[in-house]
């Protein structure tokens, strides 16, 4: 592969009736000429045989690399030659190494007291400089103490750094290596030199043989090459491609110039060294780049999905050798660092969903403190989860992150139908979500689903806020004629125990049909008296409809309760017609059912409170006594009496005896006596 090169313009400054531009390969405007004339005119008064100056030339949109030599004895004493290499800013970014710059400096070779035309011509054409040759700077060539002071002075302060050295020319390669190490944005604003002089240009770094006391920065002489400085120092002597690549990537988004060099180097050490830990990386981000908009590229590389095809950059960074690659390890780190990241950029919401769906055993994440996130991040997170997750996964994420779970539920309200949501999240806030006027029918849907899942506790919570909902749920349940009828009624009953019957208002719509009334006797204890919210005639009609319709779907106990309630409602109605119809409808079923020791205890307790007193063991006798009393009271027809006596089989004779006893207490012409003659 051919070597990559960039065009570099050059200029030669020297003494020609004054210090001025002698030759150049490009036109320089007046501002650039004034700046370069000042930068290139320096006096030699120490050990150094040459000086190096690196400085931006804004008027030319270029960085100037200037090498200066003494020009005497060929010209006027004290004059100098300065070779200027001008690298425009786009090409400055392409320079991986400045070794080509270092090799391109050329000291003019005058003949006698003048330069020949062919010598001048050399400086009138641009050069082609290789981009990937690095500065050769053996570590042994630099005093470690000086290097430590340079690094600490430059990257732990924004003040100009001036350090005295014994022979400035020995540090020219160091200056080039320092600039070479920097990322493009830092390079284009960085200035340094090995000769101090008074100019209008403020240099970032001066390694000079004489340091004026006024205005000099006193770099701590105790600075040592430890920690991050050792990483930078080692790279200056032996280029670390991963480190350079890391700085190039991160520097592209650096807005703090020199201040970012130290934390980025520390970050590199933490992600590349076996001694580094994710905790160190998170601490460095929190301390140095807490704004989600800072170092977005670095954060994307660290916390985005490493396997994603859109993350080619992350795989190209050699520094990440020690950083976790697996999603099950990266996502918890992203959660811990969430307040400092752009969560939309790393697609955290969707990745959380994938983690819970594919690897639930590793979905034990630290809690997200939503109060620390920006509104934009919260929206991105919730939106990513809601758009990607099915209901089961949305529930799993929600219950593991309760605060986040409420927002997920607000965006995906269908998960409110999951009982586990109500166990883990704030119930009052969940109830508020049900009141969203934009979600028509949501409350009914959620309650119906919870009822099907036997979730009595959340049903009680929801109905506690609006007791009418319990009645509405009961009526909706009664309309569903399926095999889960009895189980739904049991759940309604359990929810009512939690809610308390005292909390209930009268039903918005009175239960009337048989299914509704059957559900009611199962959904509430009979002693609670909710059955009184229905009319006696409705109970009697339901009893007539359900008689003889016993099947496996509705247990025998439900029929026993319905008949008991219908009879008691009729007895207590105050209407002779209702009483007669109630006894005629319910007596045959109840007389047969009471012969069994397994008769429903709730139904019997209600009956016992209404029937005449008697031995508890002889339930049928008490029922017969009750109907005998009713027959006397309401003067039944012969057909009605005959039907009741027949329904008392095999104890018909016992009922007749009861009727005779009552008739004996009346006058001879009493209708009951006349009625009994018909049976003898």
DSSP assignment of 182-248, as one string? S-HHHHTT--EESS----SS--SEEEES---STT-----TT--S-THHHHHHHHHHS--HHHHHHHH
Instruction: Give the confidence band of 172 by pLDDT, cuts at 50, 70, 90.
Output: very high
The model's confidence at residue 310, banded by pLDDT at 50, 70 and 90, is very low
pTM of structure? 0.76
pLDDT digits (tens, 9 = 90+) for 120-135: 999 999 999 999 999 9
Say which residue, 310 or 26, is predicted with more confidence: 26
> Rounded to the nearest 5 degrees, what angle is found at the Cα of 95, between the Cα atoms of 93 and 100?
155
Count of C-beta atoms within a 10 Å radius of residue 485 = 20
Q: pLDDT-derived band of residue 315, with 50, 70 and 90 as boundaries? A: very low
Tens digits of residue pLDDT in 223-243: 788 889 999 999 998 999 889
Which has the higher per-residue pLDDT, 276 or 550? 276
Residue 178: which pLDDT band, with cuts at 50, 70 and 90?
very high
Share the mean pLDDT of the chain: 88
- pLDDT tier for residue 75 given thresholds of 50, 70 and 90: low
Q: Which residue is listed with tokens 């002779």?
A: 576
Mean pLDDT of 141-167: 89
The whole-number pLDDT of residue 317 equals 63
**pLDDT attached to residue 552:** 56
Q: Where are the alpha helices (DSSP H) in 456-575?
A: 456-465, 468-479, 485-499, 514-523, 536-546, 556-571
Is residue 52 within 8 A of residue 175, CB to CB? The reply is: yes
With 80 as the cut, is the pLDDT of residue 112 above it? no
Mean pLDDT, residues 106-114 taken together: 83
Per cent of the chain over pLDDT 70 is: 92
- Taking residues 554-566, what's their average pLDDT? 89
The predicted pLDDT at position 217 comes to 54
Confidence label for 678 from pLDDT (cuts 50, 70 and 90) = low
Single out the residue of 67, 17, 60, 16 nearest to residue 39, CA to CA: 67
Residue 605 has pLDDT above 90, yes or no: yes
Residue 52 backbone dihedrals phi, psi, to 5 degrees: -125, 135
Confidence at residue 670, expressed as pLDDT on a 0 to 100 scale: 55
- DSSP letter, residue 111: B
pLDDT, one tens digit per residue, over 443-464 is: 999 999 999 999 999 999 999 9
Q: What is the mean pLDDT of residues 293-315?
A: 76
Give yes or no for residue 514 having a pLDDT over 70. Answer: yes
pLDDT score, position 213: 52
The residue written with tokens 């960074």 in the block is 317
The pLDDT of residue 657: 87
Q: Which of 57-71, 537-551, 555-569 has the lowest mean pLDDT?
A: 537-551
Report DSSP state, residue 441: T
pLDDT reading at 436 higher than 90: no
pLDDT digits (tens, 9 = 90+) for 375-389: 999 999 999 999 999
pLDDT at site 572: 93
Q: Which whole number is the average pLDDT over 187-210?
A: 85
pLDDT at 569: 95
Asked whether residue 502 carries a pLDDT value surpassing 50, the answer given is: yes
CA distances from 24 to 54, 86, 124, 432 (A): 18, 10, 5, 77
Tokens of 300: 């994307």
Terminal CA-to-CA distance of the chain, rounded, Å?
127
Hey, how many other C-beta atoms are within 10 angstroms of the C-beta on 315?
A: 13
Indicate if the pLDDT at residue 574 is higher than 80. yes
Q: What is the dihedral of CA 630, 632, 635, 641, to 10 degrees?
A: 70
**Spatial separation of the C-alpha atoms in residues 388 and 357, rounded to whole Å:** 11
């Amino acid at each position: 592969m051919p070597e990559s090169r960039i065009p570099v313009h050059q200029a030669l400054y020297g003494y020609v009736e004054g210090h001025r531009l002698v030759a150049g390969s490009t036109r320089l405007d007046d501002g650039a000429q004034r700046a370069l004339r000042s930068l290139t005119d320096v006096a030699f008064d120490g050990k150094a045989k040459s000086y190096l100056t690196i400085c931006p030339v804004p008027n030319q949109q270029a960085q100037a690399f200037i090498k200066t030599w003494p020009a005497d004895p060929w010209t006027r004493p004290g004059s100098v030659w300065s070779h200027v290499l001008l690298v425009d800013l786009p090409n400055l970014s392409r320079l991986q190494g400045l070794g080509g710059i270092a090799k391109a400096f050329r000291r003019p070779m005058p003949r006698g007291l003048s330069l020949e035309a062919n010598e001048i011509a050399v400086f009138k054409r641009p050069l082609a400089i290789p981009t990937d040759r690095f500065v050769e700077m053996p570590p042994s060539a630099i005093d470690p103490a000086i290097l430590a002071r340079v690094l600490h002075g430059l990257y732990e302060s924004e003040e100009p750094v001036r350090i005295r050295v014994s022979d400035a020319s020995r540090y020219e390669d160091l200056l080039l290596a320092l600039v070479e190490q920097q990322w493009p944005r830092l390079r284009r604003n960085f200035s340094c030199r090995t000769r101090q002089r008074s100019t209008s240009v403020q240099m970032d770094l001066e390694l000079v043989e004489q340091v004026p006391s006024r205005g000099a920065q006193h770099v701590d002489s105790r600075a040592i090459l430890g920690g991050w400085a050792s990483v930078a120092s080692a790279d200056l002597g032996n280029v670390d491609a991963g480190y350079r690549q890391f700085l190039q990537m991160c520097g592209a988004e650096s807005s703090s110039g020199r201040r970012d060099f130290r934390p980025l180097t520390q970050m590199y050490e933490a992600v590349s060294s076996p001694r580094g830990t994710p905790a160190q990386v998170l601490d460095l981000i929190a301390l140095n780049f807490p704004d989600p908009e800072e170092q977005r590229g670095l954060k994307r590389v660290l916390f985005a999905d490493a396997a994603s095809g859109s993350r080619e950059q992350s795989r190209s960074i050699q520094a990440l050798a020690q950083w976790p690659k697996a999603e099950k390890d990266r996502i918890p780190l992203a959660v811990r660092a969430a307040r400092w990241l752009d969560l939309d950029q790393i697609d955290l919401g969707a990745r959380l969903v994938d983690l819970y769906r594919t690897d639930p055993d590793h979905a034990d994440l630290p809690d997200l403190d939503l109060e620390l996130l920006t509104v934009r991040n919260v929206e991105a997170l919730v939106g990513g989860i809601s758009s990607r997750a099915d209901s089961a996964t949305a529930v799993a994420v929600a219950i593991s992150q309760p605060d986040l779970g409420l927002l997920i539920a607000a965006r995906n309200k269908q998960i409110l139908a999951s009982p586990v949501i109500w166990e883990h999240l704030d119930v009052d806030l969940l109830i508020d979500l049900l009141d969203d006027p934009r979600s028509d029918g949501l409350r009914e849907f959620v309650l119906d689903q919870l009822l099907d899942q036997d979730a009595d506790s959340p049903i009680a919570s929801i109905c506690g806020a609006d007791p009418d909902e319990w009645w509405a749920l009961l009526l909706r349940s009664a309309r569903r004629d399926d095999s889960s009828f009895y189980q739904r009624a049991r759940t309604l009953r359990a929810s009512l125990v939690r809610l308390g019957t005292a909390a209930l208002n009268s039903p918005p719509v009175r239960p009337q049909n048989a299914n509704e009334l059957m559900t009611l006797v199962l959904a509430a204890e009979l002693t609670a008296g909710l059955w009184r919210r229905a009319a006696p005639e409705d109970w009697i009609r339901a009893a007539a409809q359900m008689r003889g319709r016993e099947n496996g779907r509705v247990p025998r106990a439900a029929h026993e309760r319905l008949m008991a309630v219908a009879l008691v409602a009729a007895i207590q109605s105050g209407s002779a017609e209702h009483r007669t119809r109630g006894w005629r409808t319910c007596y045959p079923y109840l007389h047969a059912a009471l012969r069994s020791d397994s008769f429903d205890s709730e139904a019997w307790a209600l009956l016992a409170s209404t029937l005449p007193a008697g031995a508890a063991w002889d339930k049928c006798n008490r029922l017969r006594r009750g109907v005998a009393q009713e027959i006397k009271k309401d003067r039944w027809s012969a057909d009605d009496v005959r039907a009741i006596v027949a329904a008392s089989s095999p104890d018909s004779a016992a009922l007749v005896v009861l009727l005779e006893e009552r008739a004996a207490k009346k006058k001879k012409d009493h209708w009951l006596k006349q009625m009994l003659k018909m049976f003898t």
